[in-house]
Structure 1
Amino acid sequence: MNFRFRHKNWSSSLVLGLFWVGPIQALGQENEPIRIQILEADAILRDRSQPDVQRLIGGVVLGMEDSRLRCDSAWRYENGIFRTMGGVFLTDGPQSLRADEMELNPETQWVRARSSENRLVHLDAEAGQLTCSLLLYHLRREVARMPEGGRLQDAGRSVEFQHGEYLTTEPLLMLGGSVRMDNDEYTVDSDSLHWHEAMDQFSFHGPSYLCTTDERFELHCKSGEFDVLTESGWFGGAGSPGVQLRNDEVWLKADSIYLPADSLLPAVAVGEVDITDTIEQWTLSGYYAERLQLGGGGFDVWVAGEEGRRASWIDKAEKDTLRLVADTIVVSGGFTTVWPSVLLSQGDASASCDTLLWDTDADRIQLKQSPKMWMEGWLMQSDSLEWNLLDNRPKSLRATGHASLMMPVDSGACFQQIAGREITGRFESGTLEAIWVNGNAESVYFDTETDVPCEEFNLSLCSKMRMDFDDGEVKRIVLLDQPEGRWKAGETKVPVLEGLNWAVAPVVKR
């Protein structure tokens, strides 16, 4: 047992030792001082007033491993630091650095480059040309830092920033402090931006704004990634909303958004989703939204809610605001499907059902599975209900299967009641004008003019019935086709037609 235990520890130590030898060696090399060689100089002098300084004059060339530095003159101090002056030019692989003055520290391997007033330090690299007042460059890591900010210029693009770091080997630019990027296709403003130059990708690490030059697309976010070549990415951020995105005249707000390639149209939005037009006439909301691509270039918009935040459609275009709430809303061209537990309100009217189908091209709304509708004090119930619209206002309705109407009398002590197989209605300027009851029509109608309205009523039966309305009040009842009726007074038992039950109109909130 002991032998196995020790052998196991020894073998594990050997594996760990072999695993770490590479990084340890690399770290050791990076920490070793860099050797600076004097390759060329017209003259090397010493000044008795500065005995610790060696002066290099004319055509100075210094070598640091694979790097070369050329300048007019240089001072070498006893601690190994070089101060180079006059047309200083450093080459390090594909990078070249120009400045009025550079300081080389062999211990830290950092080069400190600065130019005189009204002149700039220039770094030429794969990302473009960087210009700044102060630049720090690490010879072994090939990292450039711009603590006082600067400007990057490449083909068709310019970037300004307040501080930045450039990893030339990746290449990666990490920029911060009022970053501003301009090119022919878009502009970017950001507090913190990482730019993967080879892949032309941005990573946002602070409040950021992107806008295309044609102003058809704009984006506000606090974090995210954007691929310039494919115009795709994801975006999010702390707070609500984390992202705001506009395509033409439609805004999308959410906690996070995914943008697929080559369209600038979002595919998925999650958390506190609001889709609205730029003048805020309508809003489609939920917790999750998805755009589903269809053949022929069309697409569906699918919005789902969650507990505490159901999917909703709010339309303020008309005088009375339309509110539609359910668990799921799907918009496909001019056709909208809403389900389940649907609630709808507009003005004084409201409705509920399990499923709602809205065909905007045909101006028709269908309410399926036990719909209820409250309008002008009446409750309509049936197996299914269909509305036809004109200018977004009701033009006609048709309730089929166990259709009924109820209205409370004397604060709900009794109810006006009408029932039949089918009820159709006609509207004038959005106001109910007349209804027709077809198939086994029956009614209970109370005399609201008496002192005790619920004790006097008329019971009627017929095949068809018509009711005319004026400002929501019944003006006339016409019994058609084999009518039968009885008037009763002094009754204490209030009649209720079979299958009828009153329900209170829901409060539609969003």
Structure 2
Amino acid sequence: MRTFATYCFLSISLSLICLAFTQSVNAQNRVIINQADQAEGVTIDGESVRKILGNVILTTDEMVLETDSVYQYIDRNLLMAFNIQIETDNEMIWADTLYHDTEAEFSRLRGRVIVQSDQNIMFSDSIDVDMETDIATFEVPVRFEDQDGTLIAQSGLYYQEVDSAVFRGNVQLSDTTQYIEADSLFMNRTSDLYEMFGNVFAHDYEDDVRFSGQYLYADSTDYRLLKDDAWLMEVSESKEDTTHLFAETIELTEVDTVSYMDAFGNVRMWSLEFSAIADTANYRDDLDQFILRSSPKLWHENIQLSGPYTEAYMEDDNIRFLTSFPRPIVVQEDSLTGRLHQMTGDTLNAYFEEGELERIRVFNNTEIIFHQRDENDQPDGLIELISAGPSIMYFENGEFDFFKAQQNIDGSYLPEDSTNVQRRLDNFQWNPDLRPERPDVQTPRLPPIPEERPFELPPKYLRYLENQPGVENAEVRTREPDEN
């Protein structure tokens, strides 16, 4: 089993330089009116208002503002600009309306807000920016796009000073390599740290891995933590096998070129070839090795292995070799009679060939119960055997065929009798009711991220696109306007 891909999230670039214009308004010598049809001072509802009207272009050292009109309410420290386009060294910004409190240094962008940078482009109908705290708040749905993919959420908050963001409500991220969704997302780009909360689901298209849980943590060290109803599903490279892993917690770590996966708490595994339960499971990809701890049970076809510690080595998604100790027990249900063959010892090694069990070798203090069949495949008594040394059970087409034992052998044949059918070894375990069944493949709970933008694009933005080289034939993805 391979581990998760290194999931990368969209970067966020929302500079507050867009509001440098409003800081400069109070210092008139720093604002240049390059173009306007009209400028006047008026009184509106008893308030003194300065108006700059008609095809307005204002510049400061930091930006160029194009707008239909600017209203400055002198007594309320309020500035309003309509149908705006702001250009800075780092961003282009569009909105239907800009409201700014020049004293509190608090701004609101309303209606078809677009923020475009070299890294990405953002769409929302509302952004509040507090310049004292460097926090931008999105109280309505927001959409980020970059060259690789898209992020959408119902609301969000961006804290520029620490380069952190929180998104809430049906958070979805998608690109050509992966899809991820959750109730909320916390991210810090500086430390490359990401946390997702509630109804987490992801699909890694490249490795064909899906996973879900209630919490996901990822950081720059390639450490991943999935908690609370954690589930992971991987499709093999041949597309012929699927492995499911369930646990309370799944951790993934990469050290140099080796990947490790550790699962804790109520671990359940299922694949076409085998299934298992344990309290703890560990996997490392360079050895293709699983380790099951704390009284695990493993099933292969009609065989159950129970032991305190079990190691399984894989090859082409099949078990190649398995060892278990101390004092494990193997139980196989006879496919015709339903009787239970049993074998135990101090240590057990099992060998497989192309996914089929070939033989089991038990070392020291061997005990065997083997139910026989007559020439008509009817029950014909059983053999009990004890050996101080090793013993080997051979299998043919997955069925117990015969055995060999060496050193201090003691045994007996018991004829067919109803009182002998239930004979059990001391450490007998047979729990078919605990065997994991084939799970359903989990799918996203949210509809796909829409291709179209969330609103009809403003004219100034469309004009900007038309003037960009190489975009004249570009598709403009936008939601169709409402009929009303």
- Residue of structure 2 equivalent to 1:359: 284
Cα shift readout 1:213-267 (whole Å, capped 9, x = no counterpart): 5x3x753222222245654222212xxxx2234699555432222212414x333
Deviation at 1:171, TM superposition (A): 4.0
Cα shift readout 1:87-137 (whole Å, capped 9, x = no counterpart): xx998686566531356225133455432xxxx123446873332224443
- Residue of structure 1 equivalent to 2:405: 479
Deviation at 1:466, TM superposition (A): 1.7
Q: Distance in 2 between matches of 1:255 and 1:321?
A: 27
Q: Distance in 2 between matches of 1:90 and 1:484?
A: 103
**Runs of 5+ in structure 2 lacking a partner?**
1-24, 443-484
CA contact (8 A) 2:105 2:131 kept: yes
Q: Distance in 2 between matches of 1:90 and 1:259?
A: 36
Matched, 1:266 2:204: no
Q: How many residues align?
A: 402
What does residue range 280-319 of structure 1 map to in structure 2 within 5 Å?
281-291=208-218, 298-305=221-228, 310-318=229-237, 319=240
Cα shift readout 1:284-323 (whole Å, capped 9, x = no counterpart): 322122346xxxx635322210xxxx11221123422111
Residue among 123, 129, 140 paired with 2:64: 129
- Residue of structure 2 equivalent to 1:206: 140
The structure whose RCO (Cα within 8 Å, separation 6+) is larger is: 2
Residue among 89, 100, 122 paired with 2:37: 100
TM superposition score normalised by structure 2: 0.73
Q: Distance in 2 between matches of 1:479 and 1:190?
A: 76
Which 10-residue stretch deviates more, 356-365 or 272-281?
272-281
Distance 1:410 1:315, change over 3 A: closer
Distance 1:145 1:429, change over 3 A: farther
Residue identity in the other structure for 2:195: V
- Residue of structure 2 equivalent to 1:430: 355
Matched, 1:232 2:164: yes
Q: Distance in 2 between matches of 1:298 and 1:404?
A: 41
Q: Distance in 2 between matches of 1:363 and 1:280?
A: 16
Q: Distance in 2 between matches of 1:326 and 1:499?
A: 27
CA contact (8 A) 2:236 2:317 kept: no
Deviation at 1:153, TM superposition (A): 1.4
- Residue of structure 2 equivalent to 1:384: 309
Residue identity in the other structure for 1:434: R
Residue identity in the other structure for 1:301: R
Distance 1:91 1:422, change over 3 A: closer
What does residue range 85-234 of structure 1 map to in structure 2 within 5 Å?
99-102=36-39, 104-106=42-44, 107-115=46-54, 120-124=55-59, 128-147=63-82, 149-196=83-130, 201-212=135-146, 215=148, 219-227=151-159, 230-234=162-166
Cα shift readout 1:315-351 (whole Å, capped 9, x = no counterpart): 1234221111111111121122211221111114110
Q: Distance in 2 between matches of 1:247 and 1:230?
A: 26
Distance 1:436 1:159, change over 3 A: same
Residue identity in the other structure for 2:75: R
Residue identity in the other structure for 2:253: S
CA contact (8 A) 1:438 1:465 kept: yes
Q: Distance in 2 between matches of 1:470 and 1:143?
A: 87
Cα shift readout 1:60-104 (whole Å, capped 9, x = no counterpart): xxxxxxxxxxxxxxxxxxxxxxxxxxxxx9986865665313562
Which 10-residue stretch deviates more, 364-373 or 422-431?
422-431
Distance 1:171 1:128, change over 3 A: farther
Q: Distance in 1 between matches of 2:248 and 2:267?
A: 8
Which 10-residue stretch deviates more, 195-204 or 489-498?
195-204
Q: Distance in 1 between matches of 2:406 and 2:395?
A: 17
Distance 1:385 1:169, change over 3 A: same
Which 10-residue stretch deviates more, 423-432 or 394-403?
423-432
Residue among 176, 182, 185 paired with 1:257: 185
Deviation at 1:212, TM superposition (A): 4.5
- Residue of structure 2 equivalent to 1:506: 436
Distance 1:229 1:252, change over 3 A: farther
Deviation at 1:397, TM superposition (A): 0.5
Aligned partner of residue 349 in structure 2, secondary structure: strand
CA contact (8 A) 2:310 2:322 kept: yes
Matched, 1:470 2:393: no
Identity of matched residues, %? 20
Distance 1:287 1:450, change over 3 A: farther
- Residue of structure 2 equivalent to 1:59: none
Residue identity in the other structure for 1:496: R
Distance 1:172 1:126, change over 3 A: farther
Aligned partner of residue 36 in structure 2, secondary structure: strand
What root-mean-square deviation, in Å, do the aligned CA atoms of Structure 1 and Structure 2 show?
A: 3.2
Residue identity in the other structure for 2:154: K
What does residue range 394-473 of structure 1 map to in structure 2 within 5 Å?
394-409=319-334, 414-448=339-373, 453-454=378-379, 456-462=381-387, 463-473=389-399
TM superposition score normalised by structure 1: 0.70
Aligned partner of residue 327 in structure 2, secondary structure: strand
- Residue of structure 2 equivalent to 1:341: 266
Aligned partner of residue 492 in structure 1, secondary structure: coil
Residue identity in the other structure for 1:327: E
Q: Distance in 2 between matches of 1:127 and 1:245?
A: 33
Q: Distance in 2 between matches of 1:503 and 1:108?
A: 83
Residue identity in the other structure for 1:330: E
Residue identity in the other structure for 1:108: E
CA contact (8 A) 1:359 1:365 kept: yes
Deviation at 1:282, TM superposition (A): 1.0
Deviation at 1:448, TM superposition (A): 4.7
Aligned partner of residue 162 in structure 1, secondary structure: strand
Cα shift readout 1:376-399 (whole Å, capped 9, x = no counterpart): 110011111001123443221101
Which 10-residue stretch deviates more, 331-340 or 138-147?
138-147
Q: Distance in 2 between matches of 1:434 and 1:381?
A: 17
